Amino acid sequence: GFSWKLADHPKLPKGKTIAVVVLDGWGEAKPDQYNCIHIAETPAMDSLKNGAPEKWRLVRAHGTAVGLPTEDDMGNSEVGHNALGAGRIYAQGAKLVDLALASGKIYEGEGFKYISQSFESNTLHLIGLLSDGGVHSRLDQLQLLLEGASKRGAKRICVHILTDGRDVLDGSSVGFVETLENDLAKLREKGVDARVASGGGRMYVTMDRYENDWDVVKRGWDAQVLGEAPHKFTSALEAVKKLRQEPKANDQYLPPFVIVDEQGKAVGPIVDGDAVVTFNFRADRMVMIAKALEYEDFDKFDRVRYPKIRYAGMLQYDGELKLPSHYLVSPPEIERTSGEYLVHNGVRTFACSETVKFGHVTFFWNGNRSGYFNPEMEEYVEIPSDSGITFNVKPKMKALEIAEKTRDAILSCKFDQVRVNLPNGDMVGHTGDIEATIVACKAADDAVKMILDAIEQVGGIYVVTADHGNAEDMVKRNKSGQPLLDKGGNIQILTSHTLQPVPIAIGGPGLAPGVRFRNDIPDGGLANVAATVINLHGFEAPSDYEPTLIEVVDN
């Protein structure tokens, strides 16, 4: 039968303190002026790269290597940390939704049947991120869902849009709204009363994560459910165009707006009897709104009115909380993660990041599962993030605090694994502010240095890697790699992630002599890291894990 017990590694010892450091948004790319990692002073990361060649390599962090539909899909933190923690490649939400839509299975499931009970006499509301970024949602999936629901009886549909500019170029919201409006107009010709009902920028409205700032979710609630917002328009296209004209406005942070009729009345508040679908497949930024929509008891903000609705997520966002209880597509069943194995094999674990990435090294790492496997064996520390600012204002973020906590955890000798996410390259990279991103990269590098120094002191081992690219390329390029210019001749800033590979380095005084990267896994990706780390803890990895990146040669 099944056993959690891992076999002893034939050559590698147990009991070493291992630091697993994930630099968020830290890819490898050609050195040029848009490569903030290259421009920043990063002596710690440089010394790893320029050290022993058999202890530094690149791994794949995008596309099919992390379970995404195609090689054109950039990596992201969800799929990256899932792969790092689970040691296997799972077809991810983006892919699972594609399959369910293509086969029509999405309409046969319990979730769709549940919401469709509202179609006859009530409104179907669709809330989510409007872009083709493929990180949290995809426009083509929304289009198929609109069509599919209309064909299956939805008579009135309200779309509550969240503009992107973070996984796609800033300014692209206008085009996405145009496309959506065209689709909705076609549905209206077919007799479906379909329209946009509200909107707002994803970072300011609805899509907060890890409870960093409930006001974000409240702004969305007011617009989507109550039909109240500071800005009122009769057309979504006009709303987005006008709001973008405000100084410093951008897609990520557009203020909330509602669409009103000629009498000034909101066209689509959510009321008793309605159906609601949050159409993002990715979990982290949907958990909070899902709680507001689903929980009878809720005290994070005053909902004013709590309509009796039929609510389903595109996916179930939290397997442990079973949230939401209804969903259109079953999430990947990520089980037997490395964290769970290690806890069962006596490895005491410490995990740390600041709020905006805390769930990445806990929830995502553990297969989209919240909480501890065994609180006696694990300690997860969350450093509160700044809220209400864009991170280019404070690009060092909490890197120093994370590093100090991690250092203390290492020096305490209470843990066998300390796992940390350093958010700077990613969170500041997403702002598109090149100067700030350079400062961010240096801050992350300083943190790496502090952690490696502590590992040195205790005779431990380090594994330093990243979850996907971001800060190493801040400009949109054409196919041959040249920066693309807009109509005005300006470069187009890339706020999103990239398709680049990421580095992984191993070392430290505790690393057994003869350990080196194998050279027979040239296509190795993030999913190969879990077996690698399990080996360094002195165990063989489970046989169905992606192969380890290391070998031990006798010398």
Q: How far is the CB of 136 from ligand 3PG (least distance, A)?
A: 6
Told to check if 96 binds ligand 3PG by CB under 6 A, we report no
Backbone angles phi, psi at 181, to 5 degrees: -60, -40
User: Which 8-state DSSP code applies to residue 207?
Assistant: -
**Segment interacting with ligand 3PG (CB under 6 A) among 35-43, 70-78, 171-179, 249-257:** 70-78
Burial 270-283 (b: 16+ CB within 10 A, else e): beeebbbbbbbbbb
Q: How far is the CB of 164 from Co ion (least distance, A)?
A: 12
170 binds, among Co ion, ligand 3PG, none (CB under 5 to 8 A by kind): none
Question: How far is the C-alpha of 204 from the C-alpha of 219, rounded, in Å?
Answer: 8
Q: Using the minimum distance from each CB to ligand 3PG, give the nearer residue, 150 or 496.
A: 496
Question: How far is the C-alpha of 138 from the C-alpha of 13, rounded, in Å?
Answer: 46
Told to check if 168 binds ligand 3PG by CB under 6 A, we report no
C-alpha distances in angstroms, 271 versus 128, 222, 440? Answer: 18, 13, 44
Question: How far is the C-alpha of 353 from the C-alpha of 529, rounded, in Å?
Answer: 19
The residues, ordered by sequence, that sit 6+ positions from 223 with a Cβ below 8 Å of its Cβ are 160, 198, 199, 200, 205, 229, 256, 257, 258
Check if the beta carbon of residue 470 is closer than 8 Å to that of residue 426. Answer: yes
Q: Using the minimum distance from each CB to Co ion, give the nearer residue, 79 or 403.
A: 79
Can you point out the beta strands (E) in 230-332? 231-233, 257-259, 275-278, 310-315, 327-329
Q: How many Cβ atoms from other residues are within 10 Å of residue 348's Cβ?
A: 18
Q: How far is the CB of 291 from ligand 3PG (least distance, A)?
A: 18
Q: Using the minimum distance from each CB to ligand 3PG, give the nearer residue, 285 or 419.
A: 285
Question: How far is the C-alpha of 223 from the C-alpha of 298, rounded, in Å?
Answer: 18
Residue of 194, 198, 271, 270 whose CA lies nearest to 231: 198
Site string for Co ion, 426-455 (x = CB under 5 A): x-----------------------------
Whether residue 543 lies in the annotated active site:
no
Give me 517's structure tokens.
């990267």
Rg over alpha carbons for the chain, rounded to the nearest Å, is: 24
Token match 């979710």: residue?
Answer: 217
Can you point out the beta strands (E) in 330-398? 349-354, 378-383
Q: Using the minimum distance from each CB to ligand 3PG, give the nearer residue, 78 or 318.
A: 78
Find the distance separating the first CA and the last CA of the chain, reported in whole Å. 38
Cα–chain center distance at 161: 19
**Segment interacting with ligand 3PG (CB under 6 A) among 39-47, 76-84, 95-103, 499-507:** 76-84
C-alpha distances in angstroms, 101 versus 66, 146, 510? Answer: 21, 11, 50
Burial 524-541 (b: 16+ CB within 10 A, else e): bbbbbbbbbbbbbbbbbb
How big is the CA angle at 281 (ends 279 and 285), to the nearest 5 degrees? 90
Told to check if 76 binds ligand 3PG by CB under 6 A, we report yes
**Position among 167, 208, 274, 472 found at the interface with ligand 3PG (CB under 6 A):** 167
Q: Using the minimum distance from each CB to ligand 3PG, give the nearer residue, 12 or 129.
A: 129
**Segment interacting with Co ion (CB under 5 A) among 86-94, 180-188, 303-311, 421-429:** 421-429
Check if the beta carbon of residue 549 is closer than 8 Å to that of residue 504. Answer: yes
Q: Using the minimum distance from each CB to ligand 3PG, give the nearer residue, 210 or 415.
A: 210
Q: How far is the CB of 435 from ligand 3PG (least distance, A)?
A: 20
Question: How far is the C-alpha of 260 from the C-alpha of 144, rounded, in Å?
Answer: 26
Q: Using the minimum distance from each CB to ligand 3PG, give the nearer residue, 12 or 428.
A: 428
Site for ligand 3PG in 428-467 (CB under 6 A): 430
Q: How far is the CB of 107 from ligand 3PG (least distance, A)?
A: 28
Cα–chain center distance at 316: 15
3-state secondary structure of 532: helix
Q: How far is the CB of 512 from ligand 3PG (least distance, A)?
A: 33
166 binds, among ligand 3PG, Co ion, none (CB under 5 to 8 A by kind): ligand 3PG
**Position among 18, 135, 312, 506 found at the interface with ligand 3PG (CB under 6 A):** 135
Told to check if 354 binds ligand 3PG by CB under 6 A, we report no
Q: Using the minimum distance from each CB to ligand 3PG, give the nearer residue, 251 or 426.
A: 426
167 binds, among ligand 3PG, Co ion, none (CB under 5 to 8 A by kind): ligand 3PG
Of the candidates 3, 47, 77, 235, the residue annotated as catalytic is 77
How big is the CA angle at 236 (ends 140 and 223), to the nearest 5 degrees? 100
Residue nearest ligand 3PG, Cβ-based: 77
416 binds, among ligand 3PG, Co ion, none (CB under 5 to 8 A by kind): none
Instruction: Tell me the one-letter amino acid at 202.
Output: R
Q: How far is the CB of 203 from ligand 3PG (least distance, A)?
A: 8
**Segment interacting with Co ion (CB under 5 A) among 195-203, 353-361, 420-428, 539-547:** 420-428
The number of residues that bind Co ion (CB under 5 A) is 1
Q: How far is the CB of 497 from ligand 3PG (least distance, A)?
A: 6
Told to check if 473 binds Co ion by CB under 5 A, we report no
Q: How far is the CB of 170 from ligand 3PG (least distance, A)?
A: 13
Told to check if 285 binds ligand 3PG by CB under 6 A, we report yes
Q: Using the minimum distance from each CB to ligand 3PG, give the nearer residue, 82 or 316.
A: 82
Q: Using the minimum distance from each CB to ligand 3PG, give the nearer residue, 339 or 429.
A: 429
Q: How far is the CB of 78 from ligand 3PG (least distance, A)?
A: 6
3-state secondary structure of 399: helix
Told to check if 166 binds ligand 3PG by CB under 6 A, we report yes
Check if the beta carbon of residue 166 is closer than 8 Å to that of residue 203. Answer: yes
Instruction: Identify the bridge partners of residue 506 per DSSP, sorted by sequence position.
Output: 463
User: Which spans of this chain sit near Co ion (rule: CB under 5 A)?
Assistant: 426
User: Which spans of this chain sit near ligand 3PG (rule: CB under 6 A)?
Assistant: 24-25, 76-78, 135-136, 166-167, 285, 426, 430
Catalytic residues: 77
